[in-house]
Amino acid sequence: MRNLLDFLRKYNYVFLFLLLEIASFVLLFRFNNFQGSVWFTSANTVVATINGAYGDMMAYLNLQTVNRDLTQRNIVLQQQVEQLRVALARATHDSTYTEKRIAEILSDYEMIPARVVSNTTRGSNNYLVIDRGSAHGVSTEMGVVGGGGVVGIVYLVEQHHSLVIPVTNKKSNISCRVRGQSYHGFLQWEGGSLRRAFVDDIPRYAAAKVGEVVETSGYSSMFPPGIFVGRVKKVGNSPDGQSYRLDVSLGTDFANIRDVSVIATPHKVEIDSLYHHANTQLSM
């Protein structure tokens, strides 16, 4: 306490001077309009500057939260744009002749629409995964088609997804024919280009020509006859030299495949039962 009194006694003139200055400024600005307006304007400017600096600082501190919210909103907007793009594409889509013919051939079949959610294209045994499974009526050994024609055959089925062996798998073996002819062979892929496969075992007396349509023969329970596969690109000799080998340009673009349909053949169970019964009887 004594130190405080000594301090005030020592600097009392300074405190008195400051008090008088403050009093003079109050009298000056309070009772003189011009000086009062100058003080008011200057004070507001200082306060505005301080408030602006404080606002900038708080905005900077909240920038991370704002950016996170903007990112989430952008993701939602991108999803909505993609949904609108797909809906617009479907609404304005002009079906090709191949799509119309496939729809006509399959008009008596139950079609299960699906979307490809996984697609391998760089191996020798490629696979597709679609977003439909047993819960949607899909079962093994069902044929799969797309806008460009034959896609493949269902191999494994789970409740909500299925694995498809596409034409671009070396294990694929689909019975095909040249349109307008009864001779058939088996479509196989040997690797390399995803748009090229071969049909072997076409008899030499068959009149196969470049540019003709290759389609399913119907000699299986997976595909009805007449589903587009591709076009003959080249006619050559099969490895054994006894028949023709057709170099086929595939209609399905497996690198960009997205929407497909699974064919629910109405008599597949009955046909498979006959095959199983016959095999059982012949093996006895």
Q: How many CB atoms lie within 10 A of CB 268?
A: 17
Query: Which of 14-23, 56-65, 173-182 has the highest mean predicted lDDT (pLDDT)?
Result: 173-182
Helix (H, G, I), strand (E, B) or coil at 260: strand
pLDDT, greater one: 161 or 52: 161
Q: What is the pLDDT of residue 38?
A: 52
Q: Are 99 and 90 in contact (CB under 8 A)?
A: no
Whole-angstrom distance, CA of residue 30 vs CA of residue 156: 91
Phi then psi for residue 119, to 5 deg, are -150, 120
The model's pLDDT over 192-231, given as tens digits with 9 standing for 90+, comes to 899 999 998 888 787 788 999 999 988 877 888 888 999 9
Neighbours of 129 (CB within 10 A): 17
Q: Which two tokens stand for residue 84?
A: 């609108």
Measured CA to CA in angstroms, residue 276 lies from 87, 269, 280, 281 at distances of 44, 10, 6, 9
Which domains occur in the chain, in start order?
2-61 (no CATH), 98-278 (2.40.10.350)
